[in-house]
């Protein structure tokens, strides 16, 4: 897949948006688990396995959302605009 195909494909924007929502849900659940001090073993296993990949995915999604936003001439009422908003909110949640 060419770079131009990745950033000019409208379904890509929707996928980025859905991945951003997944990030928000994961980090919100992670925050609640830590806040409520749930000590179940399976929760700890999933948290250990998924936290670093989710952080890396978040950084990648931020870059892709910015590129898509620039390509759509800064249309903030679009999937990349809302994705960037969600990712920044998530970044502030765990940062």
Residue 7 pLDDT greater than 60, yes or no: no
Do residues 37 and 31 make contact, with C-beta atoms less than 8 angstroms apart? no
Place of tokens 């759509």: 72
Question: Which tokens go with 82?
Answer: 């809302």
The 3-state DSSP class for residue 12 equals helix
- pLDDT band per the 50, 70, 90 thresholds, residue 10: low
- Count Cβ atoms within 10 A of the Cβ of residue 83 and give its class: 0-12 exposed, 13-18 middle, 19 or more buried: buried
Q: How far apart are CA 45 and CA 66, in angstroms?
A: 32
**Is 0.85 topped by the overall pTM?**
no
Residues 20-77 have pLDDT tens digits of 999 999 999 988 988 898 888 998 898 899 999 999 999 999 999 898 888 878 776 7
Q: Which residue has the higher pLDDT, 95 or 89?
A: 89
């Amino acid at each position: 897949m060419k770079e131009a195909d990745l950033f000019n494909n409208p379904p890509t924007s929707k996928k980025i948006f859905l991945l951003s929502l997944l990030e928000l849900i994961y980090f919100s659940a992670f925050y609640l688990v830590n806040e409520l001090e749930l000590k179940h073993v399976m929760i700890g296993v999933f948290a250990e396995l998924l936290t670093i990949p989710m952080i890396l995915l978040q950084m990648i999604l931020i870059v892709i959302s910015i590129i898509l936003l620039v390509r759509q001439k800064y249309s903030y009422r679009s999937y990349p605009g809302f994705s960037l908003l969600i990712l920044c909110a998530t970044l502030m949640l765990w940062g």
